[in-house]
């Protein structure tokens, strides 16, 4: 059986690491490349974090590309410490591979090249701000037609944000990029929005058992999640989009409608807007994840640390 080809764009914090490790553990998945974007940390930390994850998983053969350092408008990444200053809990590891392992090619050109080399076959999984994808479509407007499917973690369904009152973190950090991607990528698009991930959160008991497996990967995960603030549940945000890309059966219900991203609102800039009544009469509609087979999701996530 042919492998599922993925191209993954990350702003590698703890949840990106979880999603990457999930995909790396599935034999039927081949990751053609990992492109890095600012977000959970500076681009330098993001690149180091990806290399660190690949090192722990013994998958250093996967190429990693350095991408956007700031949003399209050049706004500097605001300080964000949810996953620590470096994105992986500030625990450090002197044995981690250095930036010399990065590819010379930049992330945007790598996205264009890899998608064109595997036209119609690649599923793109975007887990951070969408800056690299927005730049790629501006350089090659034909790109969206050549993508098999696009999976995104970002945006919101009900106007409730976690970065501002009305905007989710990834879309808030580069609203213009989110607007470009949601309006110009006409390939099948699947979005795991903020409320969906929270509604399908796991128990803190699951997290405890998950990271206490007796494996190198589990010990790594336990270390980087030690200071991650947990409320009443464990929400591995990016892993939902990755799980859908790996196994479409995990998502059991969708909302299908046209969407866009608010750019002008004083309080709503970066908010994902849903046209549930088809007032825009747009041809291209998007699948917003609504319900998840949690048992299958938990099995896939559990296997990431074996």
How many residues are listed for the chain in this entry? 306
Q: What is the pLDDT of residue 230?
A: 66
> β-pairing, 149-153 with 29-36?
unpaired
Report the C-alpha gap between 237 and 259 in whole angstroms.
21
Torsion, CA 150, CA 297, CA 206, CA 193, rounded to 10: 40
Tokens describing residue 228: 């991650």
Q: Do residues 21 and 242 touch, judged by C-beta distance below 8 A?
A: no
Phi, psi dihedral angles at 39 (to 5 degrees): 160, -95
With pLDDT > 90 as the criterion, what percentage of the chain qualifies? Answer: 89
pLDDT in tens, 117-168: 999 999 999 999 999 999 999 999 999 999 999 999 999 999 999 999 999 9
Picking from 57, 67, 62, 4, the residue whose alpha carbon sits closest to that of residue 35 is 67
R_g of the chain computed on alpha carbons: 18
CB–CB of 178/170 below 8 Å? yes
CA distance 15 to 234: 11
Whether the predicted pLDDT of 267 surpasses 80: yes
Domain at 202, CATH number: 3.90.245.10
Look at residues 208, 217, 196, 94 and name the one whose alpha carbon lies nearest to residue 152: 196
Reported as a single tens digit per residue, the pLDDT across 6-58 is 999 999 999 999 999 999 999 999 999 999 999 999 999 999 999 999 999 99
Q: What pLDDT is recorded for position 81?
A: 67
Among left, alpha and beta (phi > 0; psi -120 to 50; other), residue 16 is alpha
In total, how many domains does the chain have?
A: 1
pLDDT band for 83, please (50, 70, 90 cuts): confident
- State both tokens at 121: 């076959």
Q: How many CA atoms lie within 13 A of 12 on its CB side?
A: 28
Average per-residue pLDDT for the chain: 95
Residue 76 has pLDDT above 80, yes or no: no
Span 185-222, pLDDT tens digits? 999 999 999 999 999 999 999 999 999 999 999 999 99
| Domain limits for position 88 | 4-303
Do 292 and 251 meet the contact criterion of CB atoms below 8 Å apart? yes
pLDDT of the residue at 87: 87
Tokens at 118, concatenated: 């595997």
Q: What percent of the chain has pLDDT over 70?
A: 98
SS (H, E, C) the chain: CCCEEEEEEECCCHHHHHHHHHHHCCCCEEEEEEEECCCCCCHHHHHHHHHHHHHHCCCCCCCEECCCCCCCCCCCCCCCCCCCCCCCCCCCCCCCCCHHHCCCCCHHHHHHHHHHHCCCCEEEEECCCCHHHHHHHHHCCCHHHHCCEEEEECCCCCCCCCCCCCCCHHHHHCHHHHHHHHHHCCCCEEEECHHHHHHCCECHHHHHHHHCCCCHHHHHHHHHHCCCCCCCCECCHHHHHHHHHHCHHHEEEEEEEEEEECCCCCCCCCCEEEECCCCCCCCCCEEEEEEECHHHHHHHHHHCCC
Residue 281 CA to residue 204 CA, distance in Å, equals: 43
Residue 1's pLDDT is: 62
């Amino acid at each position: 059986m042919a492998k599922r080809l993925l191209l993954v764009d990350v702003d590698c914090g703890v949840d990106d690491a979880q999603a990457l490790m999930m995909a790396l553990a599935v034999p039927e998945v081949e990751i053609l490349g990992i492109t890095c974007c600012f977000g959970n940390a500076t681009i330098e930390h993001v690149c180091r974090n990806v290399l660190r994850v690949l090192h722990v998983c013994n998958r250093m053969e996967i190429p990693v590309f350095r991408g956007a350092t700031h949003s399209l408008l050049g706004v500097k990444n605001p300080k964000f410490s949810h996953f620590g200053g470096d994105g992986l809990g500030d625990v450090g590891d002197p044995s981690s591979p250095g930036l010399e392992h990065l590819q010379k090619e930049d992330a945007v050109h790598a996205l264009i090249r890899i998608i064109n080399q595997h036209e119609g076959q690649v599923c793109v999984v975007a887990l951070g701000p969408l800056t690299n994808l927005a730049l790629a479509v501006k350089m090659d407007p034909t790109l969206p037609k050549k993508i098999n499917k696009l999976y995104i973690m970002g945006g919101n369904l009900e106007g409730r944000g976690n970065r501002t009152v009305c905007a989710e973190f990834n879309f808030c950090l580069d609203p213009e990029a989110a607007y470009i991607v949601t309006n110009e990528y006409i390939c099948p698009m699947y979005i795991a929005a903020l409320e969906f991930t929270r509604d399908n959160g796991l128990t803190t008991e699951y997290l405890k058992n998950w990271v206490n497996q007796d494996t190198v990967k589990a010990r790594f995960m336990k270390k980087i999640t030690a200071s991650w603030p947990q409320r009443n549940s464990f929400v591995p945000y990016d892993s939902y989009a990755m799980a859908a890309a790996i196994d479409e059966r995990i998502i059991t219900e969708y909302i299908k409608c046209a969407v866009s991203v608010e750019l002008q609102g004083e309080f709503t800039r970066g908010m994902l807007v849903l046209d549930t009544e088809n007032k825009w009469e747009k041809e291209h509609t998007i699948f917003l994840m609504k319900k998840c087979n949690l048992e299958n999701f938990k099995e896939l996530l559990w296997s990431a640390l074996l």
